[in-house]
Amino acid sequence: MSDAEFSKMINNYFQNDYRERGKVKWNGYFLSDHTSALKREAKAKNAIPVKLPMMSLTACQNILRHASANYEFVTVQQNI
């Protein structure tokens, strides 16, 4: 078989017969760490937020002032 015939046969195979398996082909390459991280992310994305209790303006200001002075994180939820 000549090089030209071989190239024609290979091109014909990829154009007409080859079926890409897509994601199925790559699933075996995912590490368990990746899989568990994807599951955690999906769970967090679909979580229903918990409604925080109402606070007075003064209480909010005190907490925010304390957090700002001590470089702490706070969660603020609007009442909408």
Length of the chain: 80
User: Would the pLDDT of 68 be above 90?
Assistant: yes
Range of the domain at 44: 3-69
pLDDT digits (tens, 9 = 90+) for 5-56: 888 888 888 788 777 666 666 666 667 777 888 888 988 888 888 888 999 9
43, 53 in Cβ contact below 8 A?
Answer: no
Cβ neighbours for 79, distance < 8 A, ≥ 6 positions apart: 54
User: Quick check: is 76 in a domain?
Assistant: no
User: Quick check: is 74 in a domain?
Assistant: no
Which pairs with CB-CB distance under 8 Å and at least 24 residues apart come from 48-51? 49/77, 51/77
- What pLDDT score was predicted for residue 80? 77
66, 72 in Cβ contact below 8 A?
Answer: yes
- What pLDDT score was predicted for residue 45? 85
User: Quick check: is 80 in a domain?
Assistant: no
